[in-house]
Structure 1
């Protein structure tokens, strides 16, 4: 896998994990199915842990962490390990160079190549996950 993409995915998944912890610490239950999240009655906007803004949408959530915005969807079984090119681009758009990318198109091409190489797997709607842990 392209080392730039590996680094970006690792940082993105770390931010998603941090967002999930904030959701739980704020008294909300993480879903065991994505439909459960969509129908859980959680307000569509608000604050997590008293200070971090969020915007709930469909099967996911955008969480405005101090390090930047992370937008993610829960997978079919409530997984938080999913990503796609759009989410990676949105997550890194203000700091593409820090990941070694010149533009969003390079991220898209790297994701496509990684899919073609079988290093990531489609697992629901538009989400992909790593076949193995990042090194």
Structure 2
């Protein structure tokens, strides 16, 4: 696979992951009745493990959460202010392993290399933000649609 195509496919994977974590966190916030999920679970407002109305199960761990639906399992860590748009190689690989269409990213080393390439090109950046300094985030020039499609924002000329 050529470098540009690999980058595009990796960016689609990242955007699908972010769209999924955003949707699941929104569902958790709605059903559990709190915006600060991590703070609430750490203050024992609700149990670390439970089920949602649609049958999905959740398990909070450390600074993250794993949600399992009948069709997929997604693990995410929280960023500052409850952000769920951060990602790392391990989580992307686990997400990719659930889809045969993403078979090129079933190898952790391949995902790590692809993330390094995206970081070198300024498409993703590791910001070192608490509570999860290991997470990457999309740069300000990239946005993902709710359906998980990437797009590049045009720079404003002042």
TM-score, structure 1 length as denominator? 0.85
The residue number in structure 2 matching 1:9 is: 14
The residue number in structure 1 matching 2:135 is: 127
The reply on whether 1:55 has 2:43 as its aligned counterpart is: no
Choose which of 54, 77, 87 in structure 2 pairs with 1:83. 87
CA–CA separation in structure 1 for the residues paired with 2:54 and 2:69 = 12
Contact 2:57 2:67 in 1 (8 A): yes
The reply on whether 1:74 has 2:82 as its aligned counterpart is: no
CA–CA separation in structure 1 for the residues paired with 2:110 and 2:87 = 16
TM-score, structure 2 length as denominator? 0.74
Contact 1:20 1:30 in 2 (8 A): no
CA–CA separation in structure 1 for the residues paired with 2:60 and 2:66 = 6
Distance 1:20 1:60, change over 3 A: same
Q: State the shift of 1:100 in Å.
A: 5.5
Q: For residues 40-99 of structure 1, give each alpha carbon's deviation from its aligned partner in whole angstroms, at most 9, with x where no partner exists.
A: 31312110225111111111100002331111111022111111111101111132x403
Q: For residues 84-132 of structure 1, give each alpha carbon's deviation from its aligned partner in whole angstroms, at most 9, with x where no partner exists.
A: 111101111132x403516412222101111122211113211111012
Contact 2:97 2:105 in 1 (8 A): no
For these two proteins, the number of residue pairs brought into alignment is 132
Distance 1:102 1:62, change over 3 A: closer
Give the superposed CA RMSD: 2.1
The residue number in structure 1 matching 2:27 is: 22
Contact 1:38 1:57 in 2 (8 A): no
> SS of 2:35's equivalent?
coil
Distance 1:38 1:27, change over 3 A: closer
Question: Where in structure 2 are there 5+ consecutive unaligned residues?
Answer: 144-149, 152-158
